Amino acid sequence: MTQINMAHLSERSTSGSKINFAVFEAKPTSGNNAALLHQLTQAARASGLRVDQSALAYKLGSRVMFEGDPNLVKYLAKGWYPQWTHSISI
């Protein structure tokens, strides 16, 4: 099993509704980001967390990169810096 750091947070959407999202500190070694994100999202949900949107976060040089739900990635890219709240095993 591998331990993955994650952040599980809740924010208001532009429509005012609450969105629960998860950001995982992970980059696939195979290059299949969608499959890894799906696996991690399902594991988070199975552990009892509500996840409406999710993304991967990883370092590329000195930059933090995000991949996942386009709306969440746009939000995170505005200056969110990882503050891990949980860890999950896969």
User: Rounded to 5 degrees, what angle do the CA atoms 31, 89, 76 make?
Assistant: 60
pTM for the predicted model, two decimal places: 0.91
68: left (phi over 0), alpha (psi -120 to 50) or beta: left
Long-range contacts of 76-84, Cβ-Cβ distance < 8 Å, separation of 24 or more: 76/23, 80/23, 82/5, 82/7, 82/23, 82/25, 82/57, 83/7, 84/5, 84/6, 84/7, 84/25
Of the pLDDT bands very low, low, confident and very high (cuts 50, 70, 90), residue 1 is confident
Of the pLDDT bands very low, low, confident and very high (cuts 50, 70, 90), residue 29 is confident
